[in-house]
Every structure is written in structure tokens, then in C-alpha cells.
Amino acid sequence: MRSFAYVRAGTVEEAVAAAAADPEAAYLAGGTTQVDLMRDEVFRPARLVDITRLPLRGVERRDDGGGVLVVGALTTMEELAAHGDVTTRLPLVREALLRGASPQLRHMATVGGNLLQRTRCRYYRDPSTACNKRAPGTGCAALDGHHRMHAVLGTSPHCIATHPSDLAVALLALDAAVRVHGPDGERAVPLGEFYRTPGSTPHVENALTHGELITHLEIPLLPPEARSGYLKVRDRASYEFALASVAAALVVDEDGRIRSARLALGGVGTVPWRVPRAEELLRGARPDDDVLRAAAEAALSGAEGRPDNAFKIGLGRRAVVRMLGALARGEEPDGAARGEGR
Ligand code: SF4
């Protein structure tokens, strides 16, 4: 590992000033991804600004509108998953957190860091290979290499890496936002505007500028009558990234029609993938097979597969139908009854 300077910040302002002063500085929080990347010489900051002592841990509820959870960026995944309002009002967030990492990692990893985690593309993590995200202009070894786990939506000829966060998918479906503090002050960025598809600059992954720090997440609560969940399809039952995932929330009226629908996909896009067209198709409709299949078609519209990952298009469609159908029937996606707080 390359040597680096280490600074421990006592306040948000101190942290931002320390990072902004050095173009090669980076923040360190839970470190569950970052330290691995440093060991592999993929990520080589000259200075690490340790933010673990900042007062950015905990969840507060604001009761404006339908209610908003203001979550400190250093709150751990486990702490957020265990919060009462997440358990009762945001099952899709709880399920995304619980399926997003092993218990050990959930106790270390912060929610802010989770949103910024780097792709699991094997070439990104191997400095001996071509990778436009790690080393701009070198090419993309995944295009003609191993790409079974890679994206089918939002890709470009320069990068097809999948965004790895489960939490980001659930938060995108909820219209959550991040609050950031930077050298020029504070601002809020809706999650729908936060991530960047690769285009010709795959190394630019989000809207943060150098020195900006995510301080809080703002997560709107679902109405009490909403049904929501997170379905993650993967090669094994734990400690694995999604082949396809679906975060969804429905409010179904007494006459059986869908009053409101929220839908986002993970595991298939270069960024967490919201599908407004599918939500439109669902609104006002009865959730019969034809409607669910039409929503699934719309959700994967524009998807482009390569030899090893084209299966994700059909898999993604089936996952959408399965998740929406389960919510409409008040069941788990595997057919079990959906209980309180799930
Ligand atoms: Fe790098 Fe993206 Fe290609 Fe993977 S898919 S090798 S991250 S450019």
C-alpha cells in the first residue's frame, strides 16, 4: 500500500477544509470498501481525512409533509435497518439494507459510504487491466471479457459496470435526497440527479465535486397504507451482489386499483434505475398479469445485453412482475404472507 497522510477531523467544516486543500485527498468513514481498494492500489489518495468522529450519526424524524427521516451519513446500515420508522413505514429500505451486506459489514459500513461504494467490476479492481473508470482512456476490458454481472441499462461503449448499492435503489424509488457540505457551502441533491451514467467519462460517477461531503440523507416516509419491498435475485442467498433487484411500493385502493406506484431497479443499470413510464402504466390500473407484464416491459425498455449478460433482461422483467404481484396480493415475493413491519 502506498503511504498517505492521515488527518482526523473534529467538525464538518474542518473535514471539508482538509479535503478541499489537497486535490488527492479523500474521506474515510467505515472503510469497508475503501481500505480494500487501497490495498489493491486501485485507490491511491495522498491524504485520508478521517470523518468517523463527526456528529453525523443517528436518525431524526421531521414531520413536515408526510414525514421525512433525516439520517446522519455516518449512521451504520444496521442502525438504519433497526430504526422503528424504517421497520414499519419503509420495508423496502430495511430489506435493501439487510440484503445488502453481511451482519459484520452492516455494523461497520455507513449509509453515506454505501451510496458511494465502487463497482465490483473485476477489471476495475485489477490495475493490470484496461479500465476507463480506474484509468481514463485505457479502454474497457469487460466489453469482450467477463461481463455476466454487468449492466444492460445506461451503458456506453466506454463502460458497462453495474452500480452495486442496494440501498440506493430503494432510496431512489422514494425520491430521497442527500445533503452535502462543501467548500462553497451546503446543498441538497435529489438521488435522481446524483448518479451519472458513464457516457464518455466513466470515472465521473456522481454529482459531488472535490471536497464535498455527504452529511445527511433525507428519506420521505411512505403513507401508512403503502405496501413496499425489495426483491434481490442473486447467485447465492447471502454476501452476493444482485443479478437483478426491484424496489417497489404500491398503494392499492379498496376497489383494487393502484393509486400510486414507485419502482426502481438494481443490478441491471450502470446507475440505480428509476422507471417513471412503468409507474405511469400502473397508476389507476388493476394489477392483473397483463398490466404487470406491461410495466415490466417498460422497466427494461432500452436494455442492451452482451453475450454473457443478456439473460438479465428477461430476469429483470420476471423480477418486476414477481415483486409487484406479491405486493398487490399482500404476499412475500416467494408466496409467503407479508407480515407486519416487512
Ligand atoms: Fe472499467 Fe467499466 Fe469497463 Fe469495468 S466495465 S472494465 S469498470 S470501464
- Using the atom order of ligand 1, give the atom closest to the CA of residue 119: 7
- Using the atom order of ligand 1, give the atom closest to the CA of residue 198: 2
User: Does 282 map to a domain?
Assistant: yes
**Which DSSP symbol is given to 31?**
-
> How does pLDDT run across 212-233, given as a tens digit for each residue?
999 999 999 999 999 999 999 9
Q: What pLDDT score was predicted for residue 335?
A: 56
User: Does 312 map to a domain?
Assistant: yes
In this structure, what CATH number is given to the domain that contains residue 240? 3.30.390.50
> How does pLDDT run across 20-29, given as a tens digit for each residue?
999 999 999 9
- Assess whether pLDDT exceeds 90 at residue 240: no
User: Does 99 map to a domain?
Assistant: no
For ligand 1, which residues put their CB under 6 angstroms from it?
Answer: 119, 121, 123-124, 131-133, 140-142, 159-161, 202
Residues 320, 263 contacting (CB under 8 angstroms): yes
User: Does 236 map to a domain?
Assistant: yes
User: Does 206 map to a domain?
Assistant: no
Q: Which DSSP helix (H) or strand (E) runs through 36?
A: helix 34-39
Percentage of the chain surpassing pLDDT 90? Answer: 89
Q: What angle do CA 42, 103, 92 make, to 5 degrees?
A: 95
Q: What pLDDT score was predicted for residue 340?
A: 38
- The count of domains in the chain is 2
User: Does 183 map to a domain?
Assistant: no
- Assess whether pLDDT exceeds 80 at residue 255: yes
> How does pLDDT run across 162-178, given as a tens digit for each residue?
999 999 999 999 999 99
Residue 338: pLDDT band with limits 50, 70, 90:
low
> How does pLDDT run across 61-87, given as a tens digit for each residue?
999 888 999 999 999 999 999 999 999
User: Does 9 map to a domain?
Assistant: yes
- Assess whether pLDDT exceeds 50 at residue 268: yes
Q: What pLDDT score was predicted for residue 172?
A: 98
CA of 214 relative to ligand 1 center, distance in Å: 25
User: In terms of residue numbers, what domain contains 299?
Assistant: 227-328
Alpha carbon 185 to its chain's center: 25
Task: Please give the radius of gyration of the chain, using alpha carbons only, rounded to the nearest integer.
Answer: 20
Q: What pLDDT score was predicted for residue 68?
A: 97
Question: What is the Cα–Cα distance from 223 to 107, expressed in whole angstroms?
Answer: 29
Tell me which residue of 70, 69, 68, 79 sits closest to 30, measured CA to CA.
79
Domain closes at, from 54, 71, 98:
54
Residues 166, 100 contacting (CB under 8 angstroms): yes
Domain closes at, from 54, 70, 99:
54
CA of 326 relative to ligand 1 center, distance in Å: 35
Question: What is the Cα–Cα distance from 30 to 117, expressed in whole angstroms?
Answer: 11
User: Does 78 map to a domain?
Assistant: no
pTM of the model: 0.96
In this structure, what CATH number is given to the domain that contains residue 32? 3.30.43.10
Q: What pLDDT score was predicted for residue 69?
A: 98
CA of 95 relative to ligand 1 center, distance in Å: 28
- Using the atom order of ligand 1, give the atom closest to the CA of residue 141: 6
CA of 142 relative to ligand 1 center, distance in Å: 6
Q: What pLDDT score was predicted for residue 33?
A: 85
- Using the atom order of ligand 1, give the atom closest to the CA of residue 143: 3
CA of 119 relative to ligand 1 center, distance in Å: 9
Q: What pLDDT score was predicted for residue 64?
A: 84
Domain closes at, from 39, 54, 69:
54
